[in-house]
Amino acid sequence: MRNIMMILAIWFATFAMMALALPTPDTDIAYFNETEATVASQAFGATTADETFPIQLLGIDPSFVPAEPADLAFDSAEPTDTASLDNAKDDNPYWDVECHPNGYGQAEMGSIRTGIKHLRKQTEDTVLQPNHCTRLFCKHHSAIIWCNVANGVQDITIKSIGDAANIVFKKCPWHFGYAPTSLAGILRHVDRFQVIVKEDHWKC
């Protein structure tokens, strides 16, 4: 009898360990300030490690911005004027887009389309410290990230981030066969903020 009890105990313990080893399902959608790894952020001197992460983690060069037209002046102390982001069909002096940057994996187009629709419905602002980034959308290993490369705090409407991501979406599809299935790209705005669409396995 004692042997039978021992066998049953081992059997139940084995199945319990197997259950604990099973992967838990990923969160379907994560919006707004997805928490980054605190240790990684602190390694780069992040001041708000629980909410944002430093631009170095994405290999961003804060010194690079599109050439600003002489008759255009932005005031970084005020919420950014991003009306130009509504026009994604033509080249625009307000921003520059780089498609498929080296080291950036491809995001899934369907997930990013969902994120763009969500962000463009928002009425709130998003505020970010200088030289930091944060995710505003994350689903199925596909993220929309915005980064502040200005010297001061940036206050931008979430809708504007969605508009910028939509430009990347239209300009940077990756064709595998006949139909585009994925994309990756960076929009750099003259007001010293960047919007990144890329594959993301860290948190989503």
> Domains of the chain: which residue ranges?
27-199
Higher pLDDT, 75 or 201: 201
Instruction: Count the neighbouring beta carbons within 10 Å of the beta carbon of residue 110.
Output: 13
Question: Quick one: average pLDDT of 19-35?
Answer: 34
Q: CA torsion 45→165→87→175, rounded to 10°?
A: 130
Task: State residue 60's pLDDT score.
Answer: 64
Distances (CA, A) of 169 to 35, 61, 83, 104: 25, 22, 18, 15
What is the pLDDT at residue 201? 80
Rounded-to-integer distance, Cα 85 and Cα 185, Å: 15
Q: 77 falls in which pLDDT band (50, 70, 90)?
A: very low
Tokens of 124: 């709130």
pLDDT of 115:
93
pLDDT in tens, 184-198: 999 999 888 999 999
Backbone region of residue 39 per phi and psi (left: phi > 0; alpha: psi in -120 to 50; beta: other values): alpha
Q: Average the pLDDT over 1-20 and give the result.
A: 46
Query: Which own/partner contact pairs does 55-63 have at CB distance under 8 Å and 24+ positions apart?
Result: 55/131, 55/132, 55/133, 55/147, 55/149, 57/133, 58/133, 58/145, 58/147, 58/196, 59/103, 60/133, 60/147, 60/149, 60/194, 62/131, 62/149, 62/192
pLDDT confidence bin for 4, thresholds 50/70/90: low
Share of the chain above pLDDT 70, in %: 53
Of 165, 172, 170, residue with least CA distance to 193: 165
pLDDT tens column, 92-108 = 667 889 999 988 899 99
- Beta-carbon neighbour count of residue 16 at 10 Å? 10
Q: How many CB atoms lie within 10 A of CB 96?
A: 17
Span 115-161, pLDDT tens digits:
999 999 999 998 999 888 988 998 899 999 999 988 899 899 999 99
Amino acid identity, residue 5?
M
* Residue 112 in this model has a pLDDT that exceeds 60: yes
- pLDDT value at 76 more than 80: no
What the block records as the tokens of 186 is: 């960076």
Region class of 178: left (phi > 0), else alpha (psi between -120 and 50), else beta: alpha
pLDDT, residue 47, reads 30
pTM given for the model: 0.64
Per the CB < 8 A criterion, the answer to whether 45 and 54 are in contact is: yes
